[in-house]
Structure 1
Amino acid sequence: MGGCVSTSSQGTRSSNSNREAVTPPCLGIQFSGRKRTKKTFSDHAYTLQNLHTLPNRIFTNGKSQTSCIFTQQGRKGINQDAMLVWEDFMSDDAIFCGVFDGHGPHGHLVARKVRDALPMKLLSFLYSYQGSSKTCFKGNLKKSDCGDTEKDGLDEEKLNLSWRDAFLKSYKAMDKELRSHPNLDCFCSGSTAVTLVKQGSNLFMGYIGDSRAILGSRDSSDSMVAIQLTVDLKPDLPREAERIKRCKGRVFALHDEPEVSRVWLPFDDAPGLAMARAFGDFCLKEYGVISIPEFSHRILTDRDQFIVLASDGVWDVLSNEEVVEIVSSAPTRASAARTVVDSAAREWKLKYPTSKMDDCAVVCLFLDGKMDSESDYEEQGFSSATLQSNHSGNAVESDDGQKSEPSLQRNFTVRSSDESDAHGRLPVEIEGNEETVAAEENWLGLEGVTRVNSLVQLPRFSEERP
């Protein structure tokens, strides 16, 4: 397996008692510590293998100091969604969030591999920029903080270019590692990625595929509105379709799903990939499918309340506005992600009763950095084991899938929305005729939604070794 952090970069592990040391902040990167130390490759391998022990990194159902995350398996087989919140990512006020939706026979392994390795690669490139850049920036720098508007604009441009370069290089390195991975077949398997780093008032985002991020914000009348932060990179987008066709790939929809454009090989009606960019999927990389991310930078304001990242299993049945309403009206902040998944499961039954529900994964990041009190968790039926992140009970999955994390176990996240509340699920109340009314409404689906597998010519998952 290739190294996830270059041997010249600095370590990324941190704890309350011992933090790796680095230099003063550059490019908005602020590290704490006493002394710069040089890590060996073996040190970095140890860090990657023990990511699950970090107290400020959560990847299974639960909550952190600023976020809550939840995933539920659909009806197509093993849960191929993965998610991550990593607080203190590179400084005390930096948070990394990501949602990864796998597809193909080994999609669940690809999604988990990207979840673990991609943030490390991003850190590696940020470390290298921090050591070579001549210009320093603070994470919450605003134009109004400096009298020299021209210089401030130049600094912001350099900041954008450096972060963009870091995202592009880390995504490229991630795809390169997947191609050469000795134990993971990514020829017809892959994963989407929607990732962000929030530091102070700066929000940096990189994404590929059709997972999506939205922002819940208040308008001038103090009403909650939804702002879409990413674009669903599907083959029916003109720029994506043009690139694929230039590379001899084909883009068309099947007769029984005319709203779902797919990517096909030039010489065969396979594999039928429902996205234009993804990690892996090397059978299509010569025919227009790429892993180059779209990048965006946004300055957050006091009106911005929360960010929601989710896989397409949520967006296929819920609009941006509906998700913002669900999160803002959730009983507690710790239950917000779970409430969104429950709502999506209910809508799948109402809108697509003959289709198999897709996997759903949701990350809710609250921008004021506040969560609920412990008493709120108990009132909503959350156990302390569920809410506390990264206990020793979390299993570490290997690249060949011999071990799987708790979020992939049937007794943890696989329960459907119609199972009893005795399992600790939040109750979903449907008033008298609400279900009938919803079923009779003339509902229009989102453009380019997919209600079937991302790859139509392959099995959903392969048999794993017991």
Structure 2
Amino acid sequence: MGSCFSAESKSPLPGSPLSPHPALDYWKKGYLKKKPGSSDYRKGETLHRIPGRLFLNGSTDVASLYTQQGKKGTNQDAMIVWENFCSRTDTVFCGVFDGHGPYGHMVAKKVRDHLPLKLSAHWEVNISGEDVLREISLNTAGSMNSEETALISADEEFRASVDLDETEKLPEIFKTLKESFLKAFKVMDRELRSRTNIDCFCSGTTAVTLVKQGPYLVIGNVGDSRAVLATWDKDNSLTAIQLTIDLKPNLPAEEERIRRCKGRVFALHDEPTVSRVWLPNNDAPGLAMARAFGDFCLKDFGLISVPEISYRRLSEEDEFVVLATDGIWDVLSNKEVVDIVASAPARSSAARALVHSAVQAWRYKYPTSKVDDCAAVCLFLDSNSSNLTYASSAKAKVQPSSMDQVNNESKKDDSLDRSGTVRAGKVVPEENEDSSKAKQQETNSELGIDWSAPDGVSRVDTVLNLPRFVPGKEDGE
């Protein structure tokens, strides 16, 4: 919960040095804004006009996506659904990105816009794993940092963990996409390091992304955002299957890598359940994840952007996939998320209903804490209808979740405040909320996207026994 340590709001461990590290002064530098005449501006304009590419609140026949700003400042979450990806009519790309640090919102949007293009390019040329490793070897000239070592390890571990018979059974799409994911993530992080218009030294983003082609699902993940699959079990009940691992610093393999690279992993006294990554000799930046794009102050000390890649062949029992940032998973279980989406009256309102339920859960569990940004993408695996195919039967098949878990957890710590936008005692000003909403609505109008959801979303609130949702009052107005 939370991404980066706030130097002003937390107490350091006794005896821990807090003297500024010379490298940490780097983040104070400003960034150069691109003018409308620049190539990046034109590329962005072109991206926004691509048919089937949706990055704002809205829906299509196959997906629903929605994000809502929390109470910590600028919304640092981003999301995307790209139908007909790589000009393939049966292919969809989805992703959610959770930025952190002073310029996390910019990093998240940059990765949202550029990572799919890089993945598409490398998928098209169908590079091999040997090419990836050969390029690393040539570029490093015998000197590899923790990330490049991890990339080689990821390839070696994959080959070692899958025997010859199983490898032969894997579809070609997984082999080629796995290699393309590894390459695209590496090139994306390298581009962030070299760019001058975004300061990524102490800012970064998570990314959970997937490509669905026909019955095949391939997922690439860095950070602690999550993907969950809803599927029917043998008892005809809708169950939740977690498709990704939350890549946090306290995972044994992640912690071992970080410590081997001289980074430190520990939790603060007032948040004992949140392990963070720290520099060797300074209590900064306190990153609550083991992998991320950006955050180059930690890239030599165990933090990597190498994705965990997984594969699943979909079946007729699989209904939908939910990708969401940790603002949702911090307060809702996998099963609760699946039940909320399944109980939505229509696909177009599913992601919106999920985000609103998460916001209400935040207020119930942590009434004195600032609500985190939330973003969700719901990808429906049966695209024959614009409505949920199981909406009418969901009441009978999906049992409403009780609030027992919420009640128990609410007793733990109700004073959390982990905005993570403070470095070396400098606070990043929060964006005026009314101004943010106005800009969002203006962007909507320009792109001709209808963000409104149909009546009846309040029906979802019964899944968590939360207060009834009233349209127009979701932000506590």
Same fold? TM cut 0.5: yes
Q: Which moved more, 1:437-446 or 1:170-179?
A: 437-446
What is the aligned partner in structure 2 of residue 64 from structure 1? 60
What letter matches 2:268 in structure 1?
A: L
- Report SS of the residue matched to 2:197: coil
In structure 2, the partner of 1:123 is 120
State the shift of 1:331 in Å: 1.6
- 1:408 is aligned to none
Asked whether the equivalents of residues 350 and 439 of structure 1 are also in contact (C-alpha less than 8 Å), the reply is no
Query: Does residue 305 of structure 2 align to residue 308 of structure 1?
Result: no
Give the Cα separation in 2 of the matches to 1:237 and 1:152: 27
Equivalent residue number for residue 342 of structure 1: 356
What is the match of residue 452 of structure 1? 418
Could you tell me how far 1:55 is from its partner in structure 2?
Answer: 2.2
Q: After the TM superposition, which residues 61-460 of structure 1 pair with which residues of structure 2 at under 5 Å, given as runs?
A: 61-90=57-86, 91-129=88-126, 154=168, 156=170, 158-372=172-386, 441-443=407-409, 452-454=418-420, 457=423
What's the counterpart of residue 143 of structure 1? none
Letter in 1 for 2:115: L
CA contact (8 A) 1:453 1:460 kept: no
The 1-side partners of 2:256 and 2:427 are apart by 28
Give, as a single letter, the amino acid of the residue that structure 1 aligns with 2:60. S
Q: Is the 8 A contact 1:104 1:460 kept in 2?
A: no
In the TM superposition, residue 451 of structure 1 has moved relative to its aligned partner by 5.7
| Range moving further from structure 2, 298-307 or 158-167 | 158-167
CA distance in 1, matches of 2:101, 2:427: 6
Deviation at 1:443, TM superposition (A): 2.8
Q: Which residue of 2 aligns with 1:54?
A: 50
CA distance in 2, matches of 1:339, 1:227: 20
Using the TM superposition, give the Cα deviation of residue 370 of structure 1 relative to its aligned residue in structure 2, in angstroms. Answer: 3.9
Counterpart contact for 1:81–1:101, Cα < 8 Å: yes
Cα distance, 1:453 vs structure 2: 2.9
> How far 1:158 moved relative to its partner?
4.4
The residue identity in structure 1 corresponding to 2:408 is N
SS class of match (1:96): strand
Q: Structure 2 counterpart of 1:60, which letter? A: L
Instruction: Tell me the alpha carbon deviations over residues 403-440 of structure 1, each in whole angstroms, 9 at most, x when there is no partner.
Output: xxxxxxxxxxxxxxxxxxxxxxxxxxxxxxx99x7698
Aligned-residue Cα RMSD (Å) equals 3.1
Structure 1 counterpart of 2:178, which letter? R
Secondary structure of the corresponding residue to residue 350 of structure 2: helix
- Give the 3-state SS of the residue equivalent to 1:70 in structure 2: strand
Write the letter of the residue equivalent to 2:285: P
State the SS of the aligned residue for 1:286: coil
Q: CA shift at 1:306, angstroms?
A: 0.2
Inter-CA distance 308–462: structure 2 relative to 1 (3 Å threshold): same
Q: Deviations over 1:82-135 (max 9, x none)?
A: 000000002001000000000000000000000000000000101111899xxx
**Aligned match of 1:33:** none
Following superposition, the deviation at residue 159 of structure 1 comes to 3.7
Higher helix fraction (1 or 2): 2
Q: Conserved in 1, the CA contact under 8 Å of 2:102 and 2:422?
A: no
Q: Distance in 2 between matches of 1:50 and 1:372?
A: 28
- Name the aligned partner's letter for residue 294 of structure 1: E
Q: Which amino acid aligns with 2:321?
A: I
Q: Is the 1:67–1:371 contact (alpha carbons within 8 Å) kept by the matching residues of 2? A: no
Contact 2:264/2:279, CA 8 A, preserved across alignment: yes
Q: What CA distance in whole angstroms lies between the structure 1 residues aligned with 2:40 and 2:105?
A: 24
Asked if the contact 1:313–1:360 (Cα under 8 Å) also holds between the matched residues in 2, the reply is: yes
Which residue is 1:135 aligned to? none
Q: 1: distance between equivalents of 2:245 and 2:223?
A: 9
In 2, are the aligned partners of 1:76 and 1:460 still within 8 Å (CA)?
Answer: no
What SS class does the counterpart of residue 296 from structure 1 fall into?
Answer: strand
Secondary structure at the residue paired with 1:285?
A: coil
Shift of 1:226: 0.2
Measure, in 1, the Cα distance between the counterparts of 2:427 and 2:322: 27
User: CA 1:457/1:298 → structure 2, altered by over 3 Å: closer, same or farther?
Assistant: same
| Secondary structure class of the residue paired with 2:300 | helix
Residue pair 1:78, 1:461 contacting (<8 A) in 2 also: no
Q: Does the residue aligned with 1:343 lie in a helix, a strand or coil?
A: helix
| Closer/same/farther in 2, CA of residues 240 and 152 from structure 1, 3 Å limit | closer
Match of 2:408, SS state, is coil
Query: How far apart in 2 are the matches of 1:344 and 1:317?
Result: 6
Partner of 2:27: none
Q: Do 2:73 and 2:429's aligned partners in 1 also have CA atoms closer than 8 Å? A: no
Shift of residue 46, structure 1, vs aligned partner: 5.4
Tell me how far 1:313 sits from its aligned partner. 0.2
CA–CA separation in structure 2 for the residues paired with 1:440 and 1:238: 28
Structure 1 position 452, deviation (Å): 1.4
Structure 1 residue runs of 4 or more that deviate by more than 2 Å after TM superposition: 42-49, 150-161, 370-374, 437-441, 443-446, 453-464
Alignment gaps of 5+ in structure 1:
1-41, 133-149, 375-433
The DSSP-based 3-state class of the residue aligned with 2:56 is: coil
Query: How many angstroms does 1:354 deviate by?
Result: 1.1
Partner amino acid for 2:84? D
